Amino acid sequence: MKMIDELFGRPKCLIGVAHLMPLPGSPGWGGSMKEVVDRAVSDARILEAAGFDGMILENFGDAPFARGFAGRGAVAGMASVGACVADAVELPLGINVLRSDGRSAVAIAAAVGARFIRVNVHVGAAVTDQGIIEGDAMATMLDVRNMIPGLAVFADVFVKHAVPLSGGTMEQAAADAVRRGGAAALIVTGAATGAPASQSELERVKAAVPEAPVLVGSGVTVDTISRILRAADGIIIGSAVMSDGRAGGPVDRDRALAIVGASRTA
């Protein structure tokens, strides 16, 4: 896809995730931003050295997540971390503010020079473990126009840890996210963090919106990445590159190298 090639320098992208430690204001906040920054920078350098095409910063350590605005501490913390990561590596940087705070993600991206954001519920509404989350594509896209024109919005379709409230199909949700919501790319996931995405759902979304790149955003492993990358336009990978393959941990150098090596056979 042209957009993927322009953003990441290759037609199919491999995006690593850095799960940030708890930020100020979260239940697990430990009191040291230096510790948060040091680990994020280490994760970023490992991903870059391994050969990843881009990376996403995600406030995974802030669970339980806010339903709407993530909070001043999360925004300030992610901006602080993002600036340090942007100085440390040259990878195209993405921002995902959990649970689905697209507007804060745009603001952080503008502050740190990120190239893309991920929004879990961009259009429609979903029942999640945080309650009902409603998409606000109009507000997010207005913020993009006003703060950082050209920022790419990657939108989940029937995101993990959620059940859509609409009675519509996955195909319609995908089309709405792009054609009515302005998303630049779509993400298909499994039911939960680390759960594999359905091959048939990936194919359905690609067929429904052929003009948009479609990435797989959960459950990819070193054993499945080559097969999945042949069908998808990119992969977002977190747990499989982290210590012991567990979400929330630091990025493991050997795991990151193995993932990149396996991806290049696709």
Question: What pTM was computed for the model?
Answer: 0.96
CB atoms < 10 A from the CB of 25, how many?
16
Q: What is the CATH number of the domain that holds 91?
A: 3.20.20.70
How much of the chain is in helix, strand and coil states, percent to nearest 5?
40, 20, 40
Check if the beta carbon of residue 58 is closer than 8 Å to that of residue 106: no
Check if the beta carbon of residue 93 is closer than 8 Å to that of residue 58: no
- The answer to whether the Cα torsion of 12, 253, 74, 192 is positive or negative is positive
Instruction: State residue 266's pLDDT score.
Output: 63
Phi-psi region of 157 (alpha: psi -120 to 50; beta: other; left: phi over 0): beta
Instruction: State residue 166's pLDDT score.
Output: 78
Q: Rounded to an integer, what distance in angstroms lies between the CA atom of residue 207 and that of residue 189?
A: 16
Q: Rounded to an integer, what distance in angstroms lies between the CA atom of residue 53 and that of residue 94?
A: 11
Q: Rounded to an integer, what distance in angstroms lies between the CA atom of residue 197 and that of residue 160?
A: 9
DSSP type of residue 242 = B
**Beta-carbon contacts of residue 147 (< 8 Å; ≥ 6 apart):** 106, 107, 109, 110
Residue 15 in tokens? 């995006």
**Beta-carbon contacts of residue 155 (< 8 Å; ≥ 6 apart):** 118, 119, 122, 123, 177, 178, 181, 183, 185, 186, 187
Q: Provide the domain limits for residue 96.
A: 2-263
Q: Mean pLDDT of residues grouped by 10 in the chain (266 residues)? A: 92 97 97 98 98 98 96 98 98 98 98 98 96 97 98 95 88 97 96 86 96 95 93 96 96 98 85
* Tally of structural domains, the chain: 1
- Helix (H) or strand (E) holding 19, with range, is strand 13-19
